[in-house]
Amino acid sequence: AQSVTQLGSHVSVSEGALVLLRCNYSSSVPPYLFWYVQYPNQGLQLLLKYTSAATLVKGINGFEAEFKKSETSFHLTKPSAHMSDAAEYFCAVSGSARQLTFGSGTQLTVLP
Amino acid sequence: GAVVSQHPSRVICKSGTSVKIECRSLDFQATTMFWYRQFPKQSLMLMATSNEGSKATYEQGVEKDKFLINHASLTLSTLTVTSAHPEDSSFYICSASTLRQGSQFFGPGTRLTVL
């Protein structure tokens, strides 16, 4: 069984500041981990995924995430926030069945 | 590549009627399609998993007779909400994947409003 915990349902950062969205997972098998972004009334867009290769994963739009097995974490970061980054972000975990289990989501607000 | 479409994007229906939502993989063949439901300000909840040519596997608590899923081809899956009620109003999102890719590719979602 898998589960995901996203700490902080709302995160606000100033434009140009570091973005850090936290995700901790639980999995009984080696996990695949994902970050998705959702804009209002739209589906999900894949930002990046970890599939047991490099622990530091680079994604689209300047985002990256680091898989830390010892901490069971997969936090999402971006060095400099842009106004267009404002959206809902979901962390997800997948096991051998390829079904995704999503976290509760983090709403990112970027302040001018 | 890996584009998934949904139709319609929005639908409003009267209570008691049925609504069909289509999910298509436009540029790849999807061996598996997933249907999710998302309430406002909440996460996605998996409703069912469907493999082409076989019956869908429903998650616990999802009524299979109310949410009919058909995956007749490698590029099309449909979700029919039968005898819809206001509490069925939600955002329905499908995703598609292949054995080779592993990742799920999401459709843009369908906003269902039942009056």
pLDDT (tens digit per residue) in B51-95? 888 889 999 999 999 999 998 888 999 999 999 999 999 999 999
Q: Which of B33, B37, B98, B104 to mutate to test the interface with A (most CBs of A within 10 A)?
A: B104
| d(CA A101, nearest CA chain B) in Å | 8
Q: Is A90 at the interface with chain B, CB within 8 A?
A: yes
Classify B6 as helix, strand or coil: strand
| Better-scored residue on pLDDT, A38 or B41 | A38
The amino acid at residue B26 is L
Contact A6, A21 (CB under 8 A): yes
- Predicted confidence at residue A40, as pLDDT, reads 85
Give me the mean pLDDT over the B6-35 stretch: 94
Average predicted confidence (pLDDT) for chain B: 91
CA neighbor of B69 nearest in space, from B108, B37, B42: B37
The separation between CA B31 and the C-alpha centre of its own chain, rounded to angstroms, equals 15
Torsion angle, alpha carbons of B85, B37, A105, A40, to 10: -80
- Which residues, other chains included, contact B66 with Cβ-Cβ below 8 Å and sequence gap of 6+? B81, B82, B83, B88
- Predicted confidence at residue B101, as pLDDT, reads 60
Nearest to B107 among A43, A51, A103 (CB): A43
Q: Do B109 and A45 touch (CB under 8 A)?
A: no
Classify A87 as helix, strand or coil: strand
A60-110 pLDDT tens trace:
999 999 999 999 999 999 999 999 999 999 999 987 657 889 999 999 999
Q: Do B102 and A32 touch (CB under 8 A)?
A: yes
- Predicted confidence at residue B88, as pLDDT, reads 95
- Predicted confidence at residue B72, as pLDDT, reads 82
Q: Is A104 at the interface with chain B, CB within 8 A?
A: yes
Nearest to B103 among A41, A49, A102 (CB): A49
CA distance B89 to B31: 28
Q: Do A98 and B4 touch (CB under 8 A)?
A: no
A35-59 pLDDT tens trace:
999 998 888 999 999 987 789 999 9
